[in-house]
Structure 1
């Protein structure tokens, strides 16, 4: 039987339309994109650094790129990334992710926004852009991202992502800004579950949920389907106990007209934290499509913060996203996609048991290791 050839990331991005007119095309678009990806994997953060890297690694790059007119200038890199269609770039990224993604049953998929502080351009009046990202917490992959419109917020951006992702069997977690009926509906239409933070932006529902938990606690949860789970952690001068409670069979009380899709349960997390002898108590509420399973609910809530610790932190600390001044027009948005590709590739490389920053350093020094990382694409 003849095996189908592997479709690589280069194949997906080869479908990009080149925004340059013919007379300015001295360099192949795929060469420009590949060199840029190499330098992001290696940890550089400027157009000049991309050109310098290309010149330094020219002989190695020439072994797999055409480079008909040598290495592009830093101005060429900046101009091309500013002109590339960000929707097409995003589409190529999504198609690549779909080709490498391994589905994990009940995987928690976290959706959250992040401001790219370095994308602010005072001279042109361009404010810092905000990107909404989707993070698969088990497989540790960025599944997609979309720019938030300047005159809008995450409420309009999240549905754009949900419409193009494949989420069947997953548990989608979002903070309170995603607590919207239309967003919940889009999630359940994909045969996915949800755990969404509930805050006072949903005034009546928040008050009703809070009162229902208070009533349940006072009566020992008589008349409620419920489950509980507890975790306890100690370290770095901190002691924290979290009590998780889920109430099911609540639709007739909270949503008799079924305006929320698959609204099967509500959750409460009470965190009791002791730090340096001081005790604080925090209570948070959630709505969910999950059945009564406090342990699964707890895992979903805790896993959601993986997008902060495993993605946003890596982007800021290892890839210096907040310090990165990456040009005008579409360049900041397109380069954000490049950083997400780098995070995915460096995360997939498991033979070297080091953090992302050290993997970047190794990739910059060792062409063989960089080839291994690129081969994962």
Structure 2
């Protein structure tokens, strides 16, 4: 869960329902963010594998080399007063990412002269996991988020939307995701962008996709007819 979900009431609800969590920490909770950052800055040079864990991995692709270093601390006694209002926290996590752009060369990829782009992300978690597992779990979450955002921006121009007032942004985001989910159910040929346009061109296709007409065709029928 990203930093927007870093609210005491949300964390309490997750604990009450017996759910685990990994939640991003940013300056929307300044006291918590300062405490977590301060503790993780005290990480020893070598993790002991008990209260401190560390793991690094490097990937190449999409025109860059990315290194992700994950540091985890399970001994939270030093920040216990701050965490008393945050139920269930058993670990704090740092993920440091560094991206180095590369370019293709005759003898393989070469680093560019552009400086690496470092970033730091902090998390609280109810789980007691090692750094490698945290690293993989957080990366998987962001892969899903990035893919979803890319589709919504390209097909629905979400970032260019000028709706800002009241519940408008939330309502429009919900409608986009409903439309996107329905389009995914249609297995007929054609890109998602084409199917979105078809929803605007054909009332029969739109109503059939949402099951709004009596005797409307199923998704399997849409697939075979399309």
Of 67, 73, 86, the residue aligned with 1:247 is 73
In structure 1, how many angstroms separate the alpha carbons of the residues matched to 2:60 and 2:54?
A: 21
Q: Is the 8 A contact 1:208 1:254 kept in 2?
A: yes
**Structure 1 position 249, deviation (Å):** 3.5
Give the aligned partner of residue 227 of structure 1: 53
How does 1:282-321 map onto structure 2 within 5 Å? Answer: 282-306=119-143, 308-321=145-158
Of 189, 199, 202, the residue aligned with 2:16 is 189
* Per-residue deviation, residues 177-218 of structure 1 (Å, max 9, x unmatched): 433322211222222222222234444433333333233233
Give the aligned partner of residue 346 of structure 1: 183
- 2:196 is aligned with 1:360: yes
SS at 1:215 equivalent? coil
Q: Is the 8 A contact 2:65 2:100 kept in 1?
A: yes
Gap regions ≥5 residues in structure 2: 102-111, 212-217, 220-226
Q: Is the 8 A contact 1:225 1:292 kept in 2?
A: no
Give the aligned partner of residue 207 of structure 1: 34
Gap regions ≥5 residues in structure 1: 1-172
TM-score, normalising length: structure 1: 0.44
Q: Is the 8 A contact 2:91 2:128 kept in 1?
A: yes
Give the aligned partner of residue 279 of structure 1: 116
TM-score, normalising length: structure 2: 0.67
Of 43, 51, 65, the residue aligned with 1:216 is 43
**Structure 1 position 264, deviation (Å):** 0.7
- 2:2 is aligned with 1:174: yes
* Per-residue deviation, residues 100-127 of structure 1 (Å, max 9, x unmatched): xxxxxxxxxxxxxxxxxxxxxxxxxxxx
**Structure 1 position 369, deviation (Å):** 9.6
SS at 2:21 equivalent? strand
In structure 1, how many angstroms separate the alpha carbons of the residues matched to 2:27 and 2:159?
A: 30
Aligned-pair Cα RMSD in Å = 3.6
**Structure 1 position 343, deviation (Å):** 1.1
**Structure 1 position 291, deviation (Å):** 1.4
- Structure with the bigger RCO (C-alpha within 8 Å, sep 6+) is 1
- 2:96 is aligned with 1:270: yes
**Structure 1 position 174, deviation (Å):** 2.0
Change over 3 Å in CA distance of 1:208–1:334 after alignment to 2: closer
Q: Is the 8 A contact 1:216 1:222 kept in 2?
A: no
Q: Is the 8 A contact 1:231 1:242 kept in 2?
A: yes
**Structure 1 position 323, deviation (Å):** 5.5
Change over 3 Å in CA distance of 1:258–1:336 after alignment to 2: closer
* Per-residue deviation, residues 294-329 of structure 1 (Å, max 9, x unmatched): 344224422443565343433332124456689x99
Q: Is the 8 A contact 2:97 2:120 kept in 1?
A: yes
In structure 1, how many angstroms separate the alpha carbons of the residues matched to 2:183 and 2:47?
A: 47
In structure 1, how many angstroms separate the alpha carbons of the residues matched to 2:71 and 2:166?
A: 47
Give the aligned partner of residue 16 of structure 1: none
Aligned residues: 199
Change over 3 Å in CA distance of 1:255–1:180 after alignment to 2: farther
**Structure 1 position 336, deviation (Å):** 4.7
